[in-house]
Structure 1
Amino acid sequence: MNLIYLCPQFPPNYVPFCNCLKELGVNVLGIGDGTPESLTPEVQNSLTAYYMVDDLHNYESLLKACGHFTHQYGKIDRLESHNEYWLATDAKLRQDFNIKGLKPADMLFIRRKSGMKEVFRKAGIKVAPGKVIHTLSEAKEVIKEVGYPVVAKPDDGVGALDTFKIHDEEELLSFVENKPKHDYIMEGFVKGTIFSFDGLTNRDGKIIFCTAHTYSQGIMEVVNNADHLYYYSLKSIPRELEELGRKAVSAFEIQERFFHIEFFKTGSTDYVALEVNMRPPGGYTTDMFNYANDIDVYALWAEVINGRTTPLEYERKYHCCYVSRKNRFNYVYSHQAIMERYGSSILEVQSVPGVFSAALGDIGYIFRTEHEQDIIEITSFIQKL
């Protein structure tokens, strides 16, 4: 099997995806914009071959790279990056080289939030009311229906970039006057706690691993307020959340891919779908999968790509938490104090790359505990101002 992996050196914690594939005998063919010498030994050892392009945004260069690998190794069987930023590029390359997987037509409901909303609706999953707006009058129609506040976000966007919460007419006029030129979707603001349903499907679209997380606040608030956050995995998935999550996986026909589906919990058993992401959850969440369940999800994905269809046998033994700190805050407890008190529970301390720091903080602590109340205690200690 030949698999092209786009940008195999970033993020660094995704390198095991390539390494596990290579261990199964897959030809892992990397394309990136770093020189071969700049790749770490771990990245170099995980690849069968590597092709450097001057700019990953130059599609002609990517075509040339894929053509080179086709000439050298034969038909390309899979192409992946696991990165939402490159999702559309991945799809176009798959179409041009007739590779199994998501194609450009799929982006209409995978990248576009308006498209996602329609799939959720058809599946009978509740969503926030709203629509794509182009003019002030269209925005006012949405607000007349749902009231303030509203959320405006790029219909085709990544994460919380260029997302706005609008509270009144003054902010509305400012948004319409200054907004970026791309299409925006405007929705009623949903008040609730964010939960995610996460996992991996096999080539038949059957879930072979799943889990769930809950978040201290939304990424939009974290980014717009330059705040810190925490989120953690659940040992037991609420029944209603899992039912909706499985229904969404089926509706979106997610095959041989990770999924990260976000919901607002608005009542004791009520959930409103926010969006679906057909990629691993961001940040260090794949590591958290492993820590919470004592598994190797990198190896599991490689096995799925190599033909595995059987579900993984596992137990959700721990709650695993990611808690961030921002350099702009004055925290009560030093890193040394944190490690002295909770070092036995802490698994990783990460210095977050700048491109992710707005959402994930400047420093991230990953820890696990058997009891949920310990999550709150440790998080409160780490983030105490």
Structure 2
Amino acid sequence: MKKIVIFFRGEVAMHFKYLDNFVRVIKDLKYSLHVMFHSGSTPPKSMLNKLMAYEFIDLSSVPDVRARVAEICSKEAIERIFVFHDEDVYTACLCREDNNIVGLRPAAGIHFRDKNVMQQRAKELGLKTPHCCVPHTRATLDEFAGQHGYPIIIKPYDGYGCGNTFKVETPEQLEEIWKKIRNERHDYRVEAYIHGVQYFIDSLVQNGETVFDNLSQYTYNIIDYKESGQHQGVITLGQGENIEQRDILAQCRHLLNHFGMHTGVAHTEFYLTDDGEIYFGESAARCGGGPIISLINHAYGFDLVEQWVRLDLNEEAHITQDYTTSFGAEYLSTLVTGSITQISDSDAIRALPSVLEAEVWAQKGDVLKEAEHCYEVLGYYICHGDDFAGVAQKFRNIREAFQIQVGN
């Protein structure tokens, strides 16, 4: 039986939900599966019981992972390596090249991980990108802020989920952030802040051509998730509702083709300013995070993970671009900290009008701390409406119905 390997980092219930679906698809296609869990992952015992082969390994130790994959390949042929997480994309590329496995290789994969390379290649392809620099010295930062104005963004060149990402709005803040990053300054990059609406595209690519894509709009700017108190929501737009949105989709297709993705899945972000200028944000060679997989499933009636796997394995896929109404997903979140004394449960949210899916992971007694990543939330829900404005109104109604109280 042909074998598939997947590198998997599981941190919340939603991650394991998607892995469970992946396991089902691989089994249905009659492949065997070897799961390499990241050390510290806590998959449910019910899931482990479904797996014929699995292990726990530090996926952040690239030499160890490469050696382990080589060991597996010395005993049996591996058809593909799949990943769900940004941190594993480039490691998988190296392992494929080491063992002559079909899929994304380092020469193309680096475009999806190293933001310095990513932005430079996008610029070469004719896309607008934010002004940027590497923070070689404190004077470099001062000069950059002087040229482009505050706010500026300082983030890891290979980061994800807004971790260790800073929106700096004053010289005083810059001094504080500099103290945090100066010893690892070359792990960071600096960008001018783009004032505009943030969009993302979820794409499936086969033989270098985009065979499915969907445009969605964030109802907030991701970088502001901690400071602004904005609720973290996304709403689907299908193939776009105006020329600028359709141009974003066209730029994304051009980008993925020239980034070297032959077959796979991608999640790509753009900004649209009030002046109508389109800026490329970043692109990842993975499925969209959070509830985005479920959102696509509801909006289009097919399973994104299953069709990605089918395309990658050259199996018959069942993809449609039919899009009739708007769907939205919003995280359940709060800026307050402390011990939860009362919270609405999943059933209470699912019972609300227009809600198609909902999960509340936080429970009474949990202690809430300040979030470090944008995915550190209490739960999520998915709903539908007639259009963008209709979904946004549903968000407000559902949000008002969600109750949470904390104590000291």
- CA pair 134-66 structure 1, distance change in 2 beyond 3 A: same
**Aligned letter for 1:146?**
H
TM-score for both structures, normalised by structure 2: 0.82
CA contact (8 A) 2:136 2:185 kept: no
- Secondary structure class of the residue paired with 1:191: coil
Residue 64 of structure 1: how far off its partner (Å):
5.4
Deviation digits for residues 183-207 of structure 1, max 9, x if unmatched? 22111111001011211101x1111
- The within-5 A match list for 1:140-219 is 140-179=142-181, 181-183=184-186, 184-202=188-206, 204-219=207-222
State how far apart, in whole Å, the 2-side matches of 1:362 and 1:245 are. Answer: 32
Which residue pairs with 1:351 in the alignment?
361
CA RMSD of aligned residues (A): 3.2
Task: Please say if residues 201 and 257 of structure 1, whose CA atoms lie closer than 8 Å, have aligned partners that are also in contact.
Answer: yes
Q: Is the 8 A contact 1:208 1:309 kept in 2?
A: no
Deviations 1:13-52 (A, max 9, x none): 322123212211222222225799965445643x4x3132
1:56 to partner: Cα distance: 3.4
Counterpart residue number, 1:31: 36
- 1:3 matched to which residue of 2? 4
Which region of structure 1 is more displaced relative to structure 2, 173-182 or 285-294?
173-182
Residue equivalent to 1:363: 379
The C-alpha deviation readout for 1:194-222, integer Å capped at 9, x for no partner, is 011211101x1111111011002222211
1:220 aligns to what SS in structure 2?
helix
Instruction: Tell me what 2:391 maps to.
Output: 375
Q: d(CA) in 1 for partners of 2:173 and 2:41?
A: 48
1:249 aligned partner: 256
What runs of 5+ residues in structure 2 fail to find an aligned partner? 338-342, 404-408
CA distance change for structure 1 residues 33 and 368 in 2, over 3 Å: closer, same or farther? same
Comparing 130-139 with 350-359, greater Cα deviation is found at 350-359
TM superposition shift of 1:99: 1.8
Secondary structure in 2 matching 1:234: strand
Tell whether the 8 Å contact from 1:29 to 1:69 is kept in structure 2 after alignment. Answer: no
Amino acid at match of 1:249: L
CA separation in 1, counterparts of 2:306 and 2:6? 16
Uncovered stretches (5+) of structure 1, i.e. residues with no partner: none
Deviation readout 1:91-139 (Å, 9 max, x if unpaired): 2322322222233444543212121111111111111111222111211
Cα distance in 1 for partners of 2:112, 2:156 equals 13
> Which letter does structure 2 place at the counterpart of 1:348?
A
Range with greater deviation from structure 2 (98-107 or 318-327): 98-107
Offset from partner CA, 1:43-79 (integer Å, 9 cap, x none): 643x4x313235334446534543453344x221211
The offset of 1:286, in angstroms, is 1.0
SS in 2 for 1:87: helix
> What is the rounded CA distance, in whole Å, between the counterparts of 2:283 and 2:43 in structure 1?
34
Structure 1 residue 293 and structure 2 residue 296: aligned?
no
**Alpha carbons 1:151, 1:164 under 8 Å: kept:** yes
1:377 is displaced (CA, Å) by 1.2
Distance in 1 of aligned mates of 2:257 and 2:325? 28
Change in 2 beyond 3 A, CA 1:169/1:105? same
Distance (Å, rounded) in 1 between the aligned partners of 2:355 and 2:54: 41
- Bigger drift between 221-230 and 79-88 goes to 221-230
Q: What percent of counterpart residues are identical? A: 20
Cα distance, 1:347 vs structure 2:
2.1
8 Å Cα contact 1:91-1:103 kept in structure 2? yes
TM-score by length of 1: 0.87
Alignment of 1:242-321 (within 5 A): 242-267=249-274, 269-308=276-315, 312-321=319-328
Structure 1 residue identity aligned to 2:7: L
Distance in 1, matches of 2:350 and 2:283, equals: 36
Q: How many angstroms apart in 2 are the aligned matches of 1:58 and 1:129?
A: 33
How far 1:349 sits from its partner (Å)?
Answer: 2.6
Residue 133 of structure 1 aligns to a residue whose secondary structure is: coil
Preserved CA contact (<8 Å) 1:349 1:366: no
Give yes or no for contact 1:347–1:368 (8 Å, CA) kept in 2: no
Partner of 2:144: helix, strand, or coil? helix
Aligned partner of residue 77 in structure 1, secondary structure: strand
Equivalent pair of 1:132/1:185 in contact (CA under 8 Å)? yes
Q: What's the CA shift for 1:173?
A: 2.0
Comparing 76-85 with 189-198, greater Cα deviation is found at: 76-85
1:181 is paired with a residue of what secondary structure?
Answer: helix
Secondary structure, in 3 states, of the residue corresponding to 1:53?
Answer: strand
Given that 1:295 and 1:314 are in contact with CA atoms closer than 8 Å, whether structure 2 keeps it comes out as: no
**Residues 44 and 65 of structure 1: is their aligned pair in 2 closer, same or farther, counting only changes over 3 Å?**
farther
Identify the match of residue 18 of structure 2 among 9, 14, 17.
14
**Contact 1:319–1:369 (8 Å) recurs in 2:** yes
Mapped pair 1:69 → 2:72? yes
Q: Which residue of 1 aligns with 2:406?
A: none
Contact 1:351 1:362 in 2 (8 A): yes
Aligned-partner Cα distance in 2 for 1:340–1:312 = 30
Matches within 5 A, 1:25-174: 25-32=30-37, 39-42=44-47, 44-45=49-50, 47=51, 49-59=52-62, 61-63=64-66, 65-72=68-75, 74-174=76-176
Deviations 1:132-152 (A, max 9, x none): 221112112322321222111
